[in-house]
Structures are given as C-alpha cells and as structure tokens.
C-alpha cells in the first residue's frame, strides 16, 4: 500500500506566475485536503475535495483552486503568485470510514521570487 505522494518536491517561481502542485492519495482514500504551511507556522487549511467536489474551503482567495480526478488524485493551482505564497504545501488523504484521520504527504516547497 503506497502512501500519499506529492510532486514536485521543490519549485521556484516568480511573482505573477501560475503553479500546479500534484497529489496522489493513499490507496482506498477518496478525500483529499490541502494545507499551506508558512515557515515557522502550523499548517493552514486551504480546501478539501471529496468525490471530485470541493467539500469546504479555508480563508484563501479564489486564485487558489483545485481539482480532484476520478482516481482521487488531486491538483492545487495557484494563479498570480505572490511572495507570501512561499510555503510548504501539504496534501493529506483520508478514507471513507475515518474521514477525520488524515495522512500527509511529504509536501511541495514553493519559493516565489
């Protein structure tokens, strides 16, 4: 059984660009959540996807958007990058029975210059 995998590991972008981060959920998990972790802070909830539909959103602007695919993998898209978007982006998946128990990937570190 594979865990949650995220790609790429690291990414460098410049202000105004767009970025797509990818996440493969753990086998059997149909719910994916995305979090942003700024340096020295705890993770902040961005949004959650369940069966390809958004199932809750945190306090992030619309330029943060996502998708979930039929195989339950997911993408996080960020448009018009700002310097403050520099952070570790974490994806977590959970299974249909124990939705509250989330298993995290290793994250994608995004640097915006």
Partner 1 sequence: AQSVTQLGSHVSVSEGALVLLRCNYSSSVPPYLFWYVQYPNQGLQLLLKYTSAATLVKGINGFEAEFKKSETSFHLTKPSAHMSDAAEYFCAVSSNFGNEKLTFGTGTRLTIIP
Token output for 63: 């330029």
The residues near 76 (Cβ < 8 Å, ≥ 6 apart) are 20, 21, 22, 23, 34, 46, 64, 65, 66, 89, 91
CB of 107 or CB of 112, closer to partner 1 = 107
Interface region with partner 1, contact rule CB under 8 A, candidates 11-19, 62-70, 74-82, 99-107: 99-107
103 binds partner 1 (CB under 8 A): yes
60 binds partner 1 (CB under 8 A): no
Q: Exposed/middle/buried for 4, CB within 10 Å: 0-12, 13-18, 19+?
A: buried
Q: To the nearest whole angstrom, how small is the minimum distance from the Cβ of residue 16 to partner 1? A: 27
8 binds partner 1 (CB under 8 A): no
Sites for partner 1 among residues 76-95 (CB under 8 A): 90, 92, 94
User: Cα separation of 72 and 113, whole Å?
Assistant: 32
Residues that bind partner 1 (CB under 8 A): 4, 6, 31, 33, 35, 40-45, 48, 55-56, 58, 90, 92, 94, 98-107
């Amino acid at each position: 059984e594979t865990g949650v995998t995220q790609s790429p590991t690291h990414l460098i972008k410049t202000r105004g660009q767009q970025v797509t981060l990818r996440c493969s959920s753990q086998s059997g998990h149909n719910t994916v959540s995305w979090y942003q972790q700024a340096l020295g802070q705890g993770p902040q909830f961005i949004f959650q996807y369940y069966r390809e539909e958004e199932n809750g959103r945190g306090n992030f602007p619309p330029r943060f958007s996502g998708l979930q695919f039929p195989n339950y993998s997911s993408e996080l898209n960020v448009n018009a990058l700002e310097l403050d978007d520099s952070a570790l982006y974490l994806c977590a998946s959970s299974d249909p029975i124990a939705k509250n128990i989330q298993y995290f990937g290793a994250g994608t570190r995004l640097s915006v210059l």
